[in-house]
Amino acid sequence: MKAYVFPGQGAQFSGMGKDLYEHNETAKSLFEQANAILKFRISDIMFEGGDEELKQTKVTQPAIFLHSVILAKTSPEFNPDMVAGHSLGEFSALVANGTLAFEDGLKLVYQRALAMQEACEINPSGMAAILGLEDAKVEEICAAIEGETVVPANYNCPGQLVISGSNKGIEIACEKMKEAGAKRALPLPVGGAFHSPLMEPAREKLQKAIEATIFHQPNCPVYQNVSTRGITDVEEIKKNLIAQLTAPVKWTQSVQQMVADGALEFIECGPGKVLQGLVKKIHREAEVSSI
């Protein structure tokens, strides 16, 4: 069985999608549709913009979404048995499996990006990658920190967990992780504490937008970050999508479940190769490739 996986924030690069735009009429028309919906030429920033421009959350999220979704829509062999996306990538996955229309998916992603940017400004906060510690140990250290918010945010693969929280909380946690034997405890260059309770203001805004959007019956299951199971029930998909902003991304557990459900081949659809690397670390026997 084929599982298509869609990357999240951090996979962007200057020039992403340019080949598609120049050589495929469908792709060109979708990019132009996106420019009209967003009311700025995101395609120009994707093709020619510098790292600083591409790093802004309000650009990064729709840019990665567009690259991923347009790749899926223009790939003749795209025929998934199951889909999953890492954080933002879950929206790409839901357009790719027919749950969301292209236009609705893009609008939601843009609203999500703006809401997250705003939440970051309300609560100065951040994230850090913890390498070489058991998940349970990371969870235990986070839970023991008093007076500050700090939680596990991304279960990326065994031995690689990202934590999220207040700046002070992250600082204290990093020290304690190193004392506990972590190989590295590395603050990440992100705007805020994604997938933590500090994203609550963004979750409330996104909930309204999601509830006002039409969701369709998907043509294959989506393995969502919050539940890690294959889901086709529209109401459940909505509920998990709303919870996703303040809940951890359980990528390790999702990939393990996809393998248990018969996935043999994982195809990354979007910029970069981050997810291929993570899938290999989670399940060595998996075949990985990209569109």
Structure tokens at 126: 């951040």
Nearest Cα neighbor of 88 from 104, 117, 108, 71 is 108
Categorise residue 149: left if φ over 0, alpha if ψ from -120 to 50, beta otherwise. beta
Q: Is the Cβ–Cβ distance between 263 and 62 less than 8 Å?
A: no
The yes-or-no answer on residue 195 being catalytic is yes
Q: Looking at 68, 87, 164, 227, which residue is catalytic?
A: 87
The yes-or-no answer on residue 87 being catalytic is yes
Q: Looking at 67, 86, 195, 283, which residue is catalytic?
A: 195
Categorise residue 262: left if φ over 0, alpha if ψ from -120 to 50, beta otherwise. left
Which helix H or strand E contains 155, and what residues bound it? Answer: strand 150-157
Q: Report the alpha-carbon distance of residue 288 to residue 266 in Å, rounded.
A: 5
Q: Is the Cβ–Cβ distance between 107 and 37 less than 8 Å?
A: yes
Q: Which residues are catalytic?
A: 87, 195
